[in-house]
Amino acid sequence: MIVLIIVQLIVSFWIINHALITIETIHYHQKQLFSITHMKEKTTVRLFIPDGDDSQWFVDRFRKLENFIKTIPNVKGYGSFEETTISPKNFANKEQYVRKNEQLYANTRMESYADSTKIIYFDYDIYHLFSTFQLIEGRGLSKEDFEKTNKDVIPILIGYDYRDVFHIGDRFQALAGLGENAFFVTYEVVGILEKGAKWLSANDYLIDYANELDRFFVAPYFPEERDGRAMDVAVRLNNLFLQLSNKEDFPYVKKIIKQKGKELGIYPTLKTISNEMEDYKNNTKQSVRFTLTVGLFFVAVTLIGVISVTISSIQARKYDIGVMMVTGASKRDIGRMVVMELSLIVVTSAIIGVMLSYWTEWKNTFFEHNIRLQAFTWSLYVKIMVVSCFIILISSLIPLWSVNKLALRNLVEGGR
């Protein structure tokens, strides 16, 4: 019975821990977003076009919408960012670069791509208004860097892990375009990012784990990368942002952009970062509520079992308890022993439940990072401790009352 109760408690703690992780993750997302960017809740707006695709028809109309947005006085910034990979070529330290990547990518999904590095391309407004990058050497990207042509030398910032491979002024080339239209673009290193620099995931800026840029490149968009193909335009649709002058401007800007989109035959939606976060919270509330309900149900069932087993144990050990009382133990001492036994069962189950929860989250990691693992902090452990104390308190009330009713004569009469 005790083993069964422990199993039930472990399952209960695993389910409750899962719900608490979801809640913690929501707070972590918000903290992450505003700690690694200068985005504002009320004045940073995400533009999304649900029916966007990579057809030339859509691309032509979308470009007209972009040009219109840039003329709106209330919009002080507009742009996007994109994450992809490039394979540097034609530079002196190629062998050292490959060896470095073999070390950096060992046991990751990138280990088969030692000749490539992930790169994030920025529009000027996104880089200038939102990024928090600091450099250990060289210079940042200027506005002129974002006005280069395909034939110009493109300035690039390198991640901290490549500081011994590339140096300020080094140049390399990488292919741009596809098929017969492919050509080499020349990059020049102008700065080295500080250790631990971060930027948002291009897959889902709000929910996914932020990119640590130690093994990334950062560069401005150039025409071919930004608008060279219809697919390039479609990719940018995932991360389009506007920066407004004031939060009061949002209704007006939203109205005229949607109106312009309707004229063009496309239908944009606009939400502030605050709106996006609220939607995300609302979408997860139902899941959290269901998980907590299931967890509490398991706890309730387990409490009944714990109380029953504890009372049965007390009844089965009546004679032993009587002997202990005859030799000087008080009912308080007996009660303390019962509570300690309950505490050992509950705390052990809680520890195993949290460990099991961590293991399942770790095994469910699809990408290199699982943001839910970041929720395993002291805050989470304290909440689990509170739940454990609650279970111990509730499950010990009836057994302690039962101990208090015990009469010494009834305990020892008849021996064994």
Q: Rounded mean pLDDT of 79-107?
A: 94
Give the tens place of pLDDT for each residue, 282-316: 777 776 777 777 777 777 877 787 787 777 777 77
Give the tens place of pLDDT for each residue, 52-84: 888 999 999 999 999 999 999 999 999 999 999
| pLDDT greater than 90 at residue 218 | yes
For residues 132 and 320, give the distance between their C-alpha atoms in angstroms, rounded to a whole number: 68
| pLDDT greater than 90 at residue 100 | yes
CA 403 to chain centre: 49
Predicted TM-score of the model (pTM): 0.75
Give the tens place of pLDDT for each residue, 367-392: 455 667 777 888 888 888 988 888 88
Higher pLDDT, 74 or 31: 74
| pLDDT greater than 90 at residue 38 | yes
Binned at pLDDT 50, 70 and 90, residue 414 comes out as: very low
The answer for residues whose C-beta is within 8 angstroms of residue 339's C-beta and 6 or more apart is 392, 396, 400
Binned at pLDDT 50, 70 and 90, residue 1 comes out as: low
pLDDT of residue 334: 78
Give the tens place of pLDDT for each residue, 120-137: 999 999 999 999 999 999
pLDDT of residue 63: 93
| pLDDT greater than 60 at residue 186 | yes
| pLDDT greater than 60 at residue 416 | no
Q: Report the mean per-residue pLDDT for the chain.
A: 86
pLDDT of residue 96: 95
| pLDDT greater than 60 at residue 95 | yes
pLDDT of residue 371: 67
Give the tens place of pLDDT for each residue, 312-343: 777 777 777 777 777 777 777 777 888 888 88
pLDDT of residue 367: 47
Q: Rounded mean pLDDT of 3-21?
A: 81
| pLDDT greater than 80 at residue 354 | yes
Give the tens place of pLDDT for each residue, 238-260: 899 999 999 999 999 999 999 99
Dig out the tokens for 323 from the structure: 């002997």
> Token match 């292919």: residue?
175
